Amino acid sequence: MLHLDWILVLVGAWLGLGLIGLLVLRNTAFVARVLFPAGGAVAIALAAVALAALFDVPETAVLVVGLPDLPFHLRLDGLSAFFLLVIGAAGAGISIFAAGYFRHGEGTPPGLLCLEYHVFLASMAMVLLADDAYAFMVMWETMALSSFFLVTANHRVPSIRQAGFLYLLVAHVGAIAILLCFGVLQANTGDYTFANMRAQSLSPLWASAAFLLATFGFGAKAGIVPLHVWLPEAHPAAPSPVSALMSGVMLKTAIYGVLRVGFDLLSVQIWWWGVLLLSLGLITALFGVTFSAVQTDMKRLLAYSSIENIGLLFVGIGLGVLFKAYGMDSLSALALTAALYHVISHAFFKSLLFLGTGSVLHATGERSLGKLGGLMRRMPWVGWLVLVGVLASSGLPPLSGFVAEWLLLQSFLFTTELPDTFLNMLIPVIAAAIALVAALAGYAMVKFFGVIFLGQPREPKLAEARDASRLERAGLVWLASGCVLLGLFPVPIITVIDRVTHLLIGAGIADTVRRNGWILLAPTALDRASYSPVIFLVVVCVAVLLSIWLVRRFYHGRLRFAPPWDCGFPAQTARMQDTAEGFGQPIRQIFEPVFRMQRELPSPFDDKPVYKVIIEDHFWHWLYLPIAHATELFARVVGRLQQGRIAIYLLYSFVTLIVLLLVVKS
């Protein structure tokens, strides 16, 4: 049986689990204990089949479904197999966690939630398999609709309904751009299969038009600036497993789309495409990380962090396009390897962090960082596992986030070989900005973990918090293990990614990397740059153990434990801890022009005066609100045409007929 056949069977299994959920609509125990774990098992099987397919030849199939003479063309190649591997590997941990998380349906009957969840997974898989515009758009819209219903699971809350509507609106605007992109790629042949699009040789003008439409359409789904506004609204509104699935997995389908169009369906790459992606990625990364650092809602903080990571992915892809345009295939492969490594790394650590916030939310009922704290003692399992995700997200060795960012920075070191003087001056500036993004990302993650888990509880009810359930722990352990393994063994992962880069640009770095064995990672040459996560981990462990031994050996009995300095005020309380607002204050001051801030000063007559700072996005007021006002004005003008009188409508028809006759006659 071919790999593609197995994947279709597994996709059908997800749909079958969803339909079973309808039969047991309100049986929470059965849905949680049977259907979601079964969905996790299907995800593991999908990851295994996709991994095997990566090392095999591409497979194609035609499904006689849909409209007459419009069957679904499917193709399983290295690119789609890699992203299927990401869906399966990350989706397994999320599904296992969801089995312990969805206890009351989150406002939607659990069986219906199960259907929406597994349709979402299945549609994402089918997006990656689609080999024609018709199948792609049907699955793309199915993915958007199923995720919309998941976002609005607790639809009785008005703010959640608004977030869901915004998400659906941006998703459909992006879908229109993608559809137009496919219209350009088929070059007026009437054949919308991807095989026909690959065979076309578009002029630079039309190729650029297709690329710009793809960047806009897939960028809307990915959340690049200024199309990012739905992301910090929808992620906090959705249940935490859905947030994890959207941020860790769904955003990667947009990255898949950019790679599929930019390197597979288009036969050329132009240098300014790479500069455009680099610029968009850098702006998005800086915007996301600065807003992440000043958030006081833990899920909004992670949502803006996802925007930052999407920006880094666009930077890596842009660098790959730039190198490819100048015929520097090996360096293009290095940049794309860094981007693809970040794809799978981000899928694990961001899913882990969102699921951790779900456990905190269930245990405390709070999302506000200002009302949390000291949960490390109450929730040690969640605390330690989330710490793994925090370290990986911060880009610290020896975890997965460091490998991806290190490879990306290595790609920048070779931009001096570009034959353009202006680019040689510009790219180092972008590299320095990327280093700033990495530092600010670590700052935001320190705030996230420190305010939630360290210090003293800021609310009395936090004393009643309980650790995650066994199924929730299992899902968190799965994802944390992925962060560790991806960090410790990068060479086998690069060998897998090499199959994708060879498909897209005909080159890879695996042969160079494998020469030095699995311990040392040297993407170009050993004398230029190398990194060994295993050696780093061993050195750190030896240093820690040696320090402990030296302290115990030479200073045993000489240590004295005492309370910390209390500034002369001995009655220390949780109010004396640094708050989330205080932690983010330096960032607010340094990057003040980036934010739209409103300060609410307390009245001197208030019993409990409160100083409040509201941080908003300039793009709402510069771009989206003017568009909304213009749309409302246009709707009011058009609404005047609806007089409710048949004579007026007949007059409209008569005038239209006269105009058409005049146009045809002329």
> What are the DSSP calls for 247-291, one per residue?
IIIIHHHHHHHHHIIIIII-S---HHHHHHHHHHHHHHHHHHHHH
- Cα separation values, 613 from 271, 398, 600, Å: 43, 37, 6
Token pair in block for residue 135: 């199948």
pLDDT digits (tens, 9 = 90+) for 2-37: 889 999 999 999 999 999 999 988 888 899 889 999
- 568 pLDDT higher than 90: no
The whole-angstrom separation of Cα 62 and Cα 70 is 10
Q: Which pLDDT belongs to residue 661?
A: 83
The whole-angstrom separation of Cα 313 and Cα 341 is 10
pLDDT digits (tens, 9 = 90+) for 598-657: 776 666 666 666 667 778 888 888 888 888 888 888 888 877 777 677 877 788 888 888
The whole-angstrom separation of Cα 553 and Cα 429 is 49
- 579 pLDDT higher than 60: yes
Q: Which pLDDT belongs to residue 281?
A: 93
Q: Which pLDDT belongs to residue 666?
A: 55
* Average pLDDT score over residue span 197-217: 92
Q: Which pLDDT belongs to residue 496?
A: 92
- 575 pLDDT higher than 80: no
pLDDT digits (tens, 9 = 90+) for 504-546: 998 888 888 777 777 777 777 666 677 788 888 888 889 989 9
User: Which range, of 14-18, 364-368, 396-400, 472-476, averages the lowest pLDDT?
Assistant: 364-368
pLDDT digits (tens, 9 = 90+) for 210-259: 999 999 999 999 999 899 899 998 888 888 899 999 999 999 999 999 99
pLDDT digits (tens, 9 = 90+) for 299-354: 999 999 999 999 999 999 999 999 999 888 888 999 999 999 999 999 999 999 99
CA trace torsion 27, 33, 39, 40 (10° rounding) = 160
- 105 pLDDT higher than 60: no
Neighbour tally for 347: CB within 10 Å = 30
Q: Which pLDDT belongs to residue 27?
A: 86
The torsion angles phi and psi of 202, rounded to 5 degrees, stand at -80, 150
Q: Which pLDDT belongs to residue 569?
A: 64
Strands 72-76 and 59-63: antiparallel
pLDDT digits (tens, 9 = 90+) for 461-477: 888 888 888 999 999 99
Q: Which pLDDT belongs to residue 41?
A: 94
